[in-house]
Amino acid sequence: MIVAKVVGNIWATRKEDTLQGMKLMIVQVIDPISQDSGRSFVAVDQVGAGIGETVIVSTGSSARLAKLGRHSPIDAIIVGIVDQMDVPPARDE
């Protein structure tokens, strides 16, 4: 699973039939320790996340199985909204 921040919405009036009615969000990977941001990608929103929220994203075959089964074109799905992260500070090595 990946920790990410929701940074935007996607509207698609035409999409694969199994995606009808699904909310699509743009998420950006964040490093829980440094809070640095990384790559962005699209994820189906399963939990009602909003822009600016920190979320947990499942990817790959686990994402497909979480919503529609193995025949869905989903590669990433938001499965949780983070309330708090307790992360020890990074150690200088």
Q: Measured between alpha carbons, how far is 7 from 2 in angstroms, rounded to an integer?
A: 15
SS3 category, 64: helix
* pLDDT tens-place string over residues 21-70: 889 999 999 988 777 778 999 999 989 999 999 999 999 877 766 655 56
Whole-number pLDDT of residue 41: 96
Q: What stretch of H or E contains 66? A: helix 61-67
The whole-angstrom separation of Cα 22 and Cα 31 is 27
Mean pLDDT over residues 62-91, rounded?
79
Asked: is 2-81 a CATH 3.40.50.300 domain? The reply is no
For residues 16 and 31, the answer to whether their CB atoms sit within 8 Å is no
Q: Is the full-model pTM beyond 0.75?
A: yes
